[in-house]
Each structure stands twice: as C-alpha cells, then as structure tokens.
Amino acid sequence: MAEAPTKQKLWGGRFTGKTDPLMHAFNQSLKYDQRMAAVDIRGSIAYAKALTRVAILTPAEEERMVAGLAAVGKEWADGVFAPQEDDEDIHTANERRLSELIGPLGGKLHTGRSRNDQVATDVRLWLLDQVTATEDNLKALIRVLVERADNEKDYILPGYTHLQRGQPIRWAHLLLSYAFSFRSDLERLRQLVPRIAVLPLGSGALAGNPFGVDREFLARELGFHSVAENSLWGVADRDFIAEFLMWASLVMVHMSKMAEDLIIYSTAEFGFVSLSDAYSTGSSMMPQKKNPDSLELLRGKSGRLFGNMAGFMMTLKGLPSTYNKDLQEDKEPLFDTVDNLTACLSIAEGVIATLTVNGEKMRAALTMDVLATDLADYLVRKGIPFRETHHVSGRAVALAEARQCQINELTFADFKSLHAGFTEDIYAVFDFEASVERRQAIGGTSRAMVERQIAVLRAELLK
C-alpha cells in the first residue's frame, strides 16, 4: 500500500533531506509578511484572470479559484486564518489554504509565476496603499500648522540664527517654515508613486513568463502605472523601497528640527509655548517637571528611521543580479518605518494642535538690538551704502552696551555723533510691528506675506 503523500514546500521537489528546524525558523517570514495578506490575494486574483486569458484556466476554474481566494482573504480579514508550521511566508500560506478549499485546482495558480515576481508585486501594492495613507497624514500635519498660523499672526518673537536673536518675526512665519518643509516632502512623496507603481508580476523567477500572460492587463487590474520592461530587473529591484526609506528619513529630519525648536521654546528660560498635558509626562523624582516627551520621541525616532534606511542600503550594495534571499530583509525595515512614521505624523499633529502659545513671553524676549538691521536700513533709505550703514549700526549697538541701555534709549545727539544722516525720525525705527511689516517681499514675515504663504499651502492641500 502506497504511503500518503507528505506535504511539500513550494520548492521542495529537488530536496530529499529535511530542513534543519532552526533553518526553517530562520527562513520563515510569515510572522511579519502576513500583513501583506490582502494584497497577495489581490495579486493572485488578477493573475488567475490572466491565466484564463491564455487558456491555462477555464472560465469555470477561474470562478472557483477567485471564490477560493476571496474566502482565504476573508479568513485573514476576520482573524480566523490558521497558519501552519510549513507556511514559510504569506504566499505559501495563501496557496496552501486555497488548495485546501478548492482542491488540486489550487495548484494551477502558480503556473508561470514565481515567488520572486509575486513578492515584488505584493510589496509594491502594499506600499502604494501606505503612500496614500501617509499622504493623508502628512497633509493633516501641514493643515494644522497652517490653521494655527492663520489664527496666530499677531504674535511676534525673535527669529534666531546660531541660537542668537537676529530679527523679529511673526510666530505664524515660523510655523509656516515647518509647513513648507513638509510641503516639499509631500511633493517628493507624490513623485515616488510612478516608481513604486511598476508591475513585476509576469517576470517569473527571472527570465519572464512562458505562457504569454498579458502583463498590461495585469497592470490595469492592479492599478499599476507601468510594467517592468526587464524581468531580471523586475524581480530584483528594491530601489523603490530604498527611496521611500530615504524619503521617510528626510521627513523625520524635518520633524526633528521642529521638535527641537519647540523643546527649546517650552523651557522655563524661554516659555514661548507650553505643551498640553496629553503630550507631556512628569518626573519620577521631581514633582515640578513637565517633560516634552512627545517631542523628544519625535526627535529620537528620526535616528531610528535613518538607521532603517542605512541598514537596508548596506543589504542592497553587495547583491548579485536578480533575486537573492537577502531581499527578504526589505520588509521589516519598511514595515517599521511606515508604522513609526504614521505614529510620528499623528503625534506631531496632536502636539501642534494642542500647544499653548505665550505671546507675552515672546514679546518680552524682543530687545531693541534685534532692530539693528532696521537701523542700518534706515540710513540705506537715505542713500548711504549698506556696508557703511552696517558699521554705523554696529557702533550704535556697542554704544548702547557701553551705556547699559537699549539702542532706542540713545539720545538724538548720540545718533548724530555716529552719522550725520540721522534725523529726528530715527525713533520710528524702534517698533517691532513696523519691522516685520517692512518685510513685504515674497517670503517675508509681514502680515500680507504670511497670508500669501497660507494661501499657497492651502492650494497645495487641495491637490
């Protein structure tokens, strides 16, 4: 009496020995790639339809197969799918369960298809879905920055370079500077989509599909923009993942810079802003502490996401052509990056939406020396070269320091001693609101230019 057939791995026909259990666990990716279950089903349904178009399946077989795949997908969605020990990955698990439901017909699904082109397709499909969600989250962060800026145009604070007070700016202008960094990130994210939306399915293991499947049909079914024109490249390319990880790293650099500013501005020494209790924690020892942990975590996550990108680039750099198992290392850094970026965008949105602004503290931090450039500009308007007026203004600052007073407290005689171009209207320079309103060129911190920036960003959010 013949023995009952044993379960075979998808690649098991060539092998007679058993896999080391440790190697089986080392090789298995189902524990993390099962999150691609839905897109694996989508890809398989499309491929079943393509097989019917080249007479590998009959219409009746296609109907049974699609129904079976839909049932497998529902099991995943309902949380009742039961993985088996031999399920190496999501592709093996789904095909095994399909054959349990529809019998030997399930074995036809893999005709002309390899896990090489299947996994490349799944990852691209999954990432395209994530890009859509990420765009929504990024736009939500930009939107809350824009709305706060629109509502808080009256607050004026020192603008800093080298962490030294430079010139007065509107608080809204600072918020919008963050928003424009994220606007550039939004543009770059949209530019990634055509490079992600390239169909590998139909490339086979490496040499192409021998049954003439209509890959343009597959692309239309799955929502891809184009078809991988070279099968070797199609199964091996992970540049789209590397590029997404680079993109996410840059987003987090922008997030980290914003967090650093707000951490500094929330200290008692500055007191410009205060985080809501929802995004702060206390100290286990010091009862008075209110720590900006949300912002510190955002700053810290930037290093983690950069590490994901750098590690994956090192995986890619030494690979020979086509598919190598090293490429299984693409998913965990990608999944981790998407998960953490999603959380960071939501936390940042919440922090910005709920923080409290202390306009009086901002105003109190404005000292007259931040109008030194305005003082130089005053003389420029009287026809004196800026290089000369810059020197005169610097001497005025030095004189005020020597007198231990503010620049505007110098006497008119003091100003006349510094330069004959000063007239009695000099004291009109010493007005912070007037200073910001002089910045009327595009990009400036005047009210009109801030409103222009808000309009530009709102238009971007409508795209």
Per DSSP, the residues of 132-157 read HHHHHHHHHHHHHHHHHHHH-TT-EE
pLDDT (tens digit per residue) in 344-393 = 999 999 999 999 999 999 999 999 999 999 999 999 999 999 999 999 99
CB atoms within 10 A of CB 119: 25
pLDDT (tens digit per residue) in 261-303 = 999 999 999 999 999 989 887 665 565 657 889 999 999 999 9
Rounded mean pLDDT, 31-60: 97
Kind plus residue range of the DSSP H or E element containing 353: helix 331-354
Q: Where are the domains of the chain?
A: 21-111, 116-207+229-364, 368-430
Those residues whose C-beta lies under 8 Å from the C-beta of residue 221, and which sit 6 or more positions away, are 46, 49, 50
pTM of the model: 0.91
Reduced to 3 states, what is the DSSP secondary structure of residue 357?
strand
Same fold, 116-207+229-364 and 368-430: no
Give strand pairing partners of 159. Answer: 167
Catalytic residue annotation: 162, 283
Q: What would be the CATH architecture of the domain defined by 21-111?
A: Orthogonal Bundle (1.10)
pLDDT (tens digit per residue) in 3-40 = 333 455 554 555 455 667 776 677 678 888 899 999 99
Assign domain 368-430 to a CATH class: mainly alpha
- DSSP-assigned letters across all residues of 217-239: HHHHHHT-SEE-S-HHHHHH--H
- What pLDDT, on a 0 to 100 scale, did the predictor assign at position 286? 62
Query: Domain 116-207+229-364, what fold?
Result: Fumarase C; Chain A, domain 2 (1.20.200)
Those residues whose C-beta lies under 8 Å from the C-beta of residue 445, and which sit 6 or more positions away, are 159, 168, 169, 170, 173, 436, 439
Those residues whose C-beta lies under 8 Å from the C-beta of residue 23, and which sit 6 or more positions away, are none
pLDDT (tens digit per residue) in 320-340 = 999 999 999 999 999 999 999
CB atoms within 10 A of CB 300: 13
Residues 194-211 as b or e (16 or more Cβ within 10 Å = b): eebbbbbbbbbbbebbee
